[in-house]
Amino acid sequence: MSKNRIVWWIVLAGLVVLALVAGGVYWIATSNTETESKDSPSSPESPDGGEGAAGPSGYEIEAGSGGTKKAKADDRTPIGYDWQCPAAVQAATNYYSFALSGTENFAMDKGEWDALIDEINGGLDGGLGPMEDLKSKQEKDDFWPDGEHDDMKLEAHSEQGLFRVVGCDDGGEATVDVVSAMTWPAEKDEAMYSGARLYLTWSDNDWRLVDVDEEPVDDAFIDASERSEKSFDLDAPPYPVTSQWRSEAIELLGPAWQEYSNAPQ
């Protein structure tokens, strides 16, 4: 065999070795990537702090936070949450404050409100379920966006309220009790509270509102009021609510109830 042919075979063998080494490195890298992707569920990018910090009941939520965009129906209700349970609490708080507390009656007309309910429901109701029933209970005359009743206009202060996570599965179902304060602009020292149990479902990359029930929250506060020398009546609370009042309310209602991380102290 000639010297040139020997050199050629040496070069060829070297190229084959290099190819095998490169292939092995690529296989190891892709295997690790696939393993990581299987172990870590993907979620949409979100600046809403979805994972949250652990609080007394496992959550620390800032009232009014969350969402990556605004609802098309009113351009103010936050939507677009991540799949984790703290984000479900954020969604419940915002859906209640913006769409269910009573403040919406002064911000939009009946048609716009119906469109908002459909948007945060994500089409799951199909015109036949609880959200359709909710819309049917509201009359056109219940909305005054033209300023006709500005003396009655309400402002939401969800940070003054409380919440309780009744149950939640990441990327599944969530049941959240929400209590929110409302004030009248002309009467800053007076307020009323209202609350509801919100049922949410993770669908089409967002937490969707599928049902609302005021009775569990009303009953919880009526019971707390009856067992206390002080009034925890939602219709006539002190305002601004002090941290002491919230602490006493939680003591009566149970430790699963929490105040928000941005509650005034």
What pLDDT score was predicted for residue 206? 98
Is residue 82 domain-resident? yes
Instruction: Check whether residue 34 and residue 75 sit in a common domain.
Output: no
The mean pLDDT of 82-98, rounded to a whole number, is 95
Mind listing the pLDDT tens digit for each residue in 115-137?
999 999 999 998 889 999 999 99
Q: How far is CA 13 from the centre of its chain?
A: 61
55 vs 111: which has the higher pLDDT: 111
* Contact status, residue 207 vs residue 87, Cβ threshold 8 Å: yes
Please tell me whether residues 141 and 227 are part of one structural domain: yes
Q: What pLDDT was estimated at residue 187?
A: 66
* 87 and 30 within one domain: no
- Position 48 in a domain: no
CA within 13 Å, CB half, 133: 7
Q: Is residue 50 part of a domain?
A: no
134 in the same domain as 196:
yes
Identify whether 53 is part of a domain.
no
Per the DSSP assignment, residues forming a β-bridge with 193 are 181
> Mean pLDDT: which of 179-183, 204-208, 251-255 is highest?
204-208
Nearest to 248 by CA among 162, 122, 138, 147: 162
Which domain covers residue 25, as residue numbers? 1-39
Residue with tokens 């049941």: 175
Residue 186 resides in a domain = yes
Higher pLDDT, 90 or 148: 90
Measured in degrees and rounded to the nearest 5, phi and psi for residue 190 equal: -120, 150
DSSP reduced 3-state for 128:
coil
Residue 80 to residue 87: CA distance in whole angstroms: 10
The tens digit of pLDDT for each residue in 177-193 reads: 999 888 877 666 677 88
Q: What is the tally of structural domains in the chain? A: 2
Residues 100 and 205 in one domain: yes
Q: Which of 13-27, 32-46, 151-165 has the weakest average pLDDT?
A: 32-46
Same domain for 22 and 107: no
